[in-house]
Amino acid sequence: MTTPAGFELGAGWDLVDVLEAPECLFATCIRRDSCYWRALDRVGAKDPPQMSEHPDPAPFDPVLLLGGKALLYSTYGGIAEYGFETHATKTSLFLPDECAVEMIWISPSERSLVYLLQSQTTAPTDKEVEAMMAASPTKTGQCHVAKQFSLMSWRRGSPESPKLVATFDSNVSSASIDWAAQKLFATLSCRVAVEVDLKTTALRRLDYCHPSNLAISPRGTLLLWDFANSPIQEICADGSKRTLVELGRFPSFSPDGSTMAFTRNPNEFLLCRIGGVVESIVSTPSSDEIIYDIPNWCQCGKHVAVNLIDSRCSPGRMQFLIAADIAERKIVVLEREQVPQSCGGRVWIPTSWFGREAK
């Protein structure tokens, strides 16, 4: 088939219409002023097994799997759930109007225990507005809103409100939980990295690194990188540091930790396999598309997906979804609905949830 205009495939990679996978890629799409779920049983298939139009409340990132064939996701005003057997949505946690859920984590050992990163917006006082106008007279009419970020713990199904674990003195850029160590690691907008002990709630600053982003790898190491192309570094438990790739961002390891997907340039999607061998999957060097997204792996470890958006900040910009089969070296490029702002969430779901056997 013909490669879409502006796309260049990596050496040895083929473009196909459909990818067969043991899991279904379930994505949120935005159309006009509404949001809906779309399930792609065979990624790229023209006959998705089901579509749930206009869920209320509308879904946003992140989207997580629950037991009992259900999803947990953030939404306006709190956290909601979507059931595959009932095709119904419900809000399971309501938050005040000025609060929003930025990130969600579910404990792998206690599925009812949820951690959420909550942001609270605060409008400036009249005196603060006057001071801002005096400092920047050319920005008359702009109102700056401050955010306070807090880490909360919450029990699904409990009538109790979320409990405060930690408060951050700056906006949180990224965060990840090391479940084995029971610690959350986060980077703040002031380029400070912090560690929160989930058991004791103690917060400490990590003076040995100043990245703009971090993540936890499947082997429990800390990954560091910047928004701009920079080395992706790994810090081990003994404090040793090594560079995984010289230029890149948004790293994401396969479930078994053998392969790292990442982006670069900023419109190239790549893999780094065992031994440090780097190969390009696809890139769009002559277009306005950028990859500003963390790759999302199928649990089988053979399929990975990432969002590609138009970098021009205009209404109705087009979005693409790239999914790759790293074993067969095949990819599909899907044109998603027009989206005004968000990349849209997506999650891999067992095909058995749709009454189908794995491929």
Is the per-residue pLDDT at 167 higher than 90? yes
- Is 113 inside a domain boundary? yes
Range of the domain at 313: 8-123+146-354
pLDDT of residue 135: 64
- Is 23 inside a domain boundary? yes
pTM, two decimal places: 0.81
pLDDT of residue 239: 77
Is the per-residue pLDDT at 185 higher than 70? yes
- Is 311 inside a domain boundary? yes
Specify whether the CB–CB gap between 217 and 194 falls below 8 A: no
- Is 178 inside a domain boundary? yes
- Pick 354 or 270 by higher pLDDT: 270
pLDDT of residue 202: 97
- Pick 303 or 4 by higher pLDDT: 303
Specify whether the CB–CB gap between 281 and 291 falls below 8 A: no
Percent of the chain with pLDDT over 90: 28
Q: Report the length, in residues, of the chain.
A: 359
pLDDT of residue 166: 97
User: In sequence order, what are the beta bridge partners of 322?
Assistant: 306, 333
- Is 236 inside a domain boundary? yes
pLDDT of residue 26: 72
- Is 131 inside a domain boundary? no
The total number of structural domains in the chain stands at 1
Ramachandran angles phi, psi of 322, nearest 5°: -105, 125
Q: Indicate the SS3 state at residue 132.
A: helix
Alpha-carbon distance 198 to 179, whole Å?
9
Tokens of 232: 């992706």
Residue 163's domain is classified under what CATH number?
2.120.10.30
- Mean pLDDT, residues 318-337 taken together: 81
Picking from 74-78, 102-106, 107-111, 216-220, which range would have the lowest pLDDT averaged per residue?
74-78
pLDDT tens readout for residues 103-149: 999 999 998 999 999 988 776 667 766 776 666 655 444 444 557 89
- Is 128 inside a domain boundary? no
- Is 207 inside a domain boundary? yes
